[in-house]
Chains A and B, each alone.
Chain A
Amino acid sequence: MATADSTPGEDTQVMKGTSAVAKGVAAIDPDVISAYPITPQTGVVEKLSEIVADGDIDSEFIKVDSEFNAASTCIGASAAGARAFSATSSQGLKLMSEPLFTAAGHRLPIVMAVANRSLSGPLSIWADHTDCFAERDGGMMQFHAEDVQEAIDHVLLSFKVAEQVNLPALSNFDGFILTHVQEPANIPTEAEVSEFLPPRDPAYTLDPSDPATMGAYARPEHWTEARYEVQAALEDARDVWTDAVEEFDDVFGRDYTEYDGMIDTYRADDAETVIVALGSICGTIRGVIDEMRADGELVGLVRPRVHRPFPAEQLRDALSGAHQVAVLTKENSQGFESALASEIKSALYHAEHQPPMKTYILGMAGRDVTSEDIKAIVADAETATDVMDFSESESWPQLREDIISGGI
């Protein structure tokens, strides 16, 4: 637990999540910012507009016509050698999807804050992880913040790692739950940022004095290798991230180094039932764990901080003593199961210890997840066994059966 002890003090301000992230970005002072408004991200682009309008930073702010062109202008800027930032959410992230996949293939370290939100349809503006999971396979790094402080810090870490491995990064933080919450947060100073994040030094840019061709097309004899190199860079990102969180602790005094910085745990060491979840829901889960622990129940939390590259080894380690695992997730790969659950199962396939696992899809599109929901899930997870029918292993516990028609 990295930041739950944050209290307002000299170095902290209580502010809205979007404003806090924008101020963190302003401290980084990117060369180019390009973003389009979308709920619930809008506060980030608005605050950055304000900061630029006040002359507090002199970044080029491109007032684009769409998220598609926010991503595309960032690609041009990043290719020219600039440090480029964008922010989006939901449909906007989908609209960016085509250029974003190429940003990974072009090896451009664009960093984006993603205020996570469900995707249409039906239309919903509320939080879940449908949007970022839909971008999972393109070669972008993905990080998930639990609170506002982490949302700021993950943007800083994203730039640090992205520019070393030459890959874009999505710095995820839950829509409304984190974007619109008022929390105390520490905004990095310019001095801290300059110590942590040196100027970008790309190997290749669009420099007329040293012409290069970028974005060439690859025939079958080369394409596979290009994508393999993205995969290899994501593997490299593990160590780079681990070093970055250690350096981050030295500079900023916030410790994200547990499990190489890849996963965060809470009272998990001796836990019999381990909950795995991403993002802001973990705040509620921590409270439930404290209550259940008071009743003698050995419950703990494992929270992937990094989603891509996937922290398979760290999860194997953290789940090696679990009697059963409950995956709580705000997404689903339609037609099969939760993508996160699939990934965790896959990570454990060759492991010595494969704890029985149940998956709970909940909190979709902003539906509130209460402590009682979580307690009920923990009780249910204790019924998990090594062999289960699929219908037993996964459930949608908040499903309102009274309003569904069922079938075709």
Chain B
Amino acid sequence: MSSELQEQDYTDEIDHEGELWNAGHRACAGCGPANAMKYITEAAGENTIIAQPTGCMEVVSTPYPESAWGVSYIHNIFENAASVASGIEAAYQAFDRRDPDHLDVADEDDLNIIAVGGDGATADIGFRALSGMMERGHDVTYIMYDNEAYMNTGVQRSSQTPYGAETTTSPHGEASVGNDTNKKDMASIAAAHGVDYVATASISNPHDFKQKIETALERDGPKFLHVYAPCPVGWGYDSSKTVELARLAVETGLFPVFEMEGGEITNIRKVSDRKPIEEFVKYQKRFSHLVGEDGDEEGLAELQAWIDGRAEDLGIDA
């Protein structure tokens, strides 16, 4: 697959849809992150280098000798995508000074260096690499796709797993509500590093997500995007519901959608008639112990209270 791709002559006239992230990948039906990869490559185009950590999107896209990637791509290990991207960026800085003809693209500014990793690879094990990349100011766009657990290893909790969600390492039981922590606020953490452009998006709104990618790529320095991307297998829902659940996460306030510039929220998606979180959780096996006649009402209330508090802090209610 990859050799055929490399022989293609990509030009500006070609619509990249379906060519830079190819249908030949092995992602599950209804995979939210696979949608994110499609939108990322569509927005970024051919002058792009992707660095990716170990995880679902890497495994489904690079089973040697095949590759779903029509852009330059490197996977190294689970926790270092931000550092690998930093090194790529540093190399091109050196080439730019020493050998300006090294890069065979129309304009040096057209080069997009993107690191894209899952929530575990980004917010947990790869956190130090990400922090270093942002602090040092590399011209890299980091995109975290958030499916709220370690899906590649069989659904274990991450620091993005919401309160009450059952995973194989946060099971629900007599003494456990399921996961007993709330989602780590990666956007604020990125902003606190001085990252000038930070945004969240949901794959339920590709137009918004792609616009944010384009905005990020136009700017210099580190950028951080957090994109919400449901996982039918890990969450336990019908694979036709991915986009609907991605939208419900926004409409319930579980996943606020906003842009931050200079550390301040400059644009936020207001939610009118914010739906109760039950509307989101009731479709998913991971939350099944929270709903219904014997459901853990306290657990559900706790999750709702966290969402309400955050909605108030961010002012998302229309």
Contacts and interface: CB of A to CB of B under 8 A. Distances in A.
Interface of A: 31-32, 34, 58-60, 62-66, 68-69, 72-82, 84, 98-99, 102, 106, 206-219, 222
Contacts of A213: 2, 62, 67, 69, 73-74
**Considering the complex of A and B, which 4 residue pairs feature the smallest CB-CB distances, nearest first?**
A76-B87, A72-B83, A73-B87, A80-B91
B90 A73 contact: yes
Contact of A214 (B47, B74, B77): B74
B131 interface: yes
A65 B47 CA distance: 29
Contact of A76 (B58, B91, B102, B132): B91
A72 B76 contact: yes
A82 B102 CA distance: 11
B88 interface: yes
5 contacts: A68-B128, A69-B83, A102-B76, A209-B103, A218-B64
B72 A207 contact: yes
Nearest to A58: B97
B95 A79 contact: no
Contacts of A208: 46-49, 71-72, 103-105, 111
Contacts of A32: 87, 90-91, 94
B91 A64 contact: no
Contact of A217 (B64, B80, B98): B64
Contacts of B49: 80, 206, 208
A102 B80 CA distance: 12
B91 A77 contact: yes
A41 B136 CA distance: 23
B75 interface: yes
B63 interface: yes
B65 interface: yes
Contacts of A212: 2, 6, 72-73
A207 B95 CA distance: 12
Contacts of B97: 58
B95 A31 contact: yes
B62 A217 contact: yes
Interface of B: 2, 5-6, 46-49, 51, 58-59, 62-65, 67, 69-77, 79-80, 83-95, 97-98, 102-105, 111, 128-129, 131-132, 135-136
Nearest to B110: A208
Interface centre among B49, B58, B79 (most CB of A within 10 A): B49
A73 B85 CA distance: 7
Contacts of B85: 76
B86 A76 contact: yes
A194 to B, nearest CB: 13
B64 A222 contact: yes
A224 to B, nearest CB: 12
A31 B94 contact: yes
A82 to B, nearest CB: 4
Given A73-B84, A80-B87, A211 B77 contact: no
Contacts of B87: 32, 34, 62, 72-80, 82, 84
B62 A216 contact: yes
Given A69-B129, A206-B49, 8 more contacts: A60-B94, A75-B87, A80-B95, A207-B103, A209-B104, A210-B104, A211-B72, A216-B65
Contact of B74 (A98, A209, A215): A215
Contacts of A209: 103-105
Nearest to A76: B87
Contacts of B47: 208
A18 to B, nearest CB: 23
Contacts of B46: 208, 211
B94 A69 contact: no
With a 10 A CB-CB cut-off, give which of B87, B91, B135 has the most chain A CB atoms. Answer: B87
B134 to A, nearest CB: 11
A34 B132 CA distance: 13
A212 B69 CA distance: 8
A8 to B, nearest CB: 34
B78 to A, nearest CB: 9
A99 B72 contact: no
A14 B161 CA distance: 59
Contacts of B136: 62-64
A390 B77 CA distance: 41
Given A34-B87, A65-B128, A79-B84, A217 B76 contact: no
A92 to B, nearest CB: 14
Contacts of B67: 213, 216
Given A76-B84, A212-B72, A58 B62 contact: no
B74 A79 contact: yes
A386 B102 CA distance: 61
Contacts of B69: 211, 213
Contacts of B70: 211
Contacts of A73: 83-84, 86-87, 90
Given A64-B132, A69-B129, A207-B72, A82 B6 contact: no
A217 B63 contact: yes
Given A99-B76, A206-B72, A219-B63, A64 B6 contact: no
A213 to B, nearest CB: 4
A60 B139 CA distance: 14
Contacts of B128: 65-66, 68-69
Contacts of B6: 210-212
Of the candidates B2, B85, B98, B135, the one having the most CB atoms from chain A within 10 angstroms of its own CB is: B98
